[in-house]
C-alpha cells in the first residue's frame, strides 16, 4: 500500500506561487535581469545592526518575550506611527509579528469565518490571495482602472460587495503596480467600508518607496476608521 502524506483541502486549494515559479525558471536562462523581489540595495542602517549585535552580546535574545512583543519595541512603533503615519495608537494596540506576511495572515484569520469574502484590488500581490484561501475565505478580485494609473474603481467596488463581504485588503504603495493611492481615493474607500461595516487591512510595506512628488497616506489616520482598520 502506498503511503501518502495527508494534506488538508484548505492547503490543497492554494495555487502555486507564480513569483517562485518564475524565479526557478529564471535560473535556467542566462543574462536574466531579476526584478522580482523588493530588496533594497542600501543595506541595513548601522544603528540597527549595532543594536542587534548589542542584544546578542548582552543575552537579550534566545528567550521568550511578551506575546504582543517587547514593550520597548511596541513603544517605538507607537512613536513611528504618530510621526510617519499620523496614526494615534497606544502600546496595547500594537502586536509584533515575524514580518508583514504573518501580520497580514493573523489579521485575516482574526476577522473572517469560512466562506466570508475579502475584496482585493487587481493587479494584486498573489500572496494576499493565498492568505484569504488558507483562512477558508473567498478572495473577490476587483480590477483597478489601468488607463488611470491603476486607480480604484469605486463602481466596481460597490458592485462586488455582498452580504458575505467582511474585509478589504488595500496595498498602497501597491505591489505589483507601484501605484500610490491618493488621500482622496483612500478616504472614499474608508467611507465605503464604514457604510458597509467592513474591515480594511492595509499592506503599507512600501510606504517609503514613494517618488515623483507623491505622498503616502494611511487609512488608519482617519479617526472614524479606528475600529475598522488593521494597519
Burial of 107 (0-12, 13-18, 19+ CB in 10 A): buried
Q: Domains in the chain, start-ordered, CATH in brackets?
A: 65-96 (no CATH), 97-230 (3.40.640.10)
Q: What is the DSSP string of 154-198?
A: HHHHHHH--TTEEEEEEESS-TTT-----HHHHHHHHHHHHHTT-
The sheet that has 229-230: what strands, in order across it? Answer: 138-143, 117-122, 165-171, 199-203, 229-230
So what's the pLDDT on residue 1? 55
Residue 118's CB is within 10 A of a number of other CB atoms, namely 26
- Say what the pTM is: 0.89
Name the stretches of the chain with pLDDT < 50: none
Cα gap 86→102, rounded to integer Å: 24
Comparing CA positions, the residue from 189, 191, 192 lying closest to residue 202 is 189
Residue 31 and residue 14 in contact, taking contact as beta carbons nearer than 8 Å: no
Instruction: Give the model confidence (pLDDT) of 171-224 as tens digits.
Output: 999 999 999 999 999 999 999 999 999 999 999 999 999 999 999 999 999 999
Residue 190 and residue 217 in contact, taking contact as beta carbons nearer than 8 Å: no
So what's the pLDDT on residue 88? 96
Amino acid at each position: 500500500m502506498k503511503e501518502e502524506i495527508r494534506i488538508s483541502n484548505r492547503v490543497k486549494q492554494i495555487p502555486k506561487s507564480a513569483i517562485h515559479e518564475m524565479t526557478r525558471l529564471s535560473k535556467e536562462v542566462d543574462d536574466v535581469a531579476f526584478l522580482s523581489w523588493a530588496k533594497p540595495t542600501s543595506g541595513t542602517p548601522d544603528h540597527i545592526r549595532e543594536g542587534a549585535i548589542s542584544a546578542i552580546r548582552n543575552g537579550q535574545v534566545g528567550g521568550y518575550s511578551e506575546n504582543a512583543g517587547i514593550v520597548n519595541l511596541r513603544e517605538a512603533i507607537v512613536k513611528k506611527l504618530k510621526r510617519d503615519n499620523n496614526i494615534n495608537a497606544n502600546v496595547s494596540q500594537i502586536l509584533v509579528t515575524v514580518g508583514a506576511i504573518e501580520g497580514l495572515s493573523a489579521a485575516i484569520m482574526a476577522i473572517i469565518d469560512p466562506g466570508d469574502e475579502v475584496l482585493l484590488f487587481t493587479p494584486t500581490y498573489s500572496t494576499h490571495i493565498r492568505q484569504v484561501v488558507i483562512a477558508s475565505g473567498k478572495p473577490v478580485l476587483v480590477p483597478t482602472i489601468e488607463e488611470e494609473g491603476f486607480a480604484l474603481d469605486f463602481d466596481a467596488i460597490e458592485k462586488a460587495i455582498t452580504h458575505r463581504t467582511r474585509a478589504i485588503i488595500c496595498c498602497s504603495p501597491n505591489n505589483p503596480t507601484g501605484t500610490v493611492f491618493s488621500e482622496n481615493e483612500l478616504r472614499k474607500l474608508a467611507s465605503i467600508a464604514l457604510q458597509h461595516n467592513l474591515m480594511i487591512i492595509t499592506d503599507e510595506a512600501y510606504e517609503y518607496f514613494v517618488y515623483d512628488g507623491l505622498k503616502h497616506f494611511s487609512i488608519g489616520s482617519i479617526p472614524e476608521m479606528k475600529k475598522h482598520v488593521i494597519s
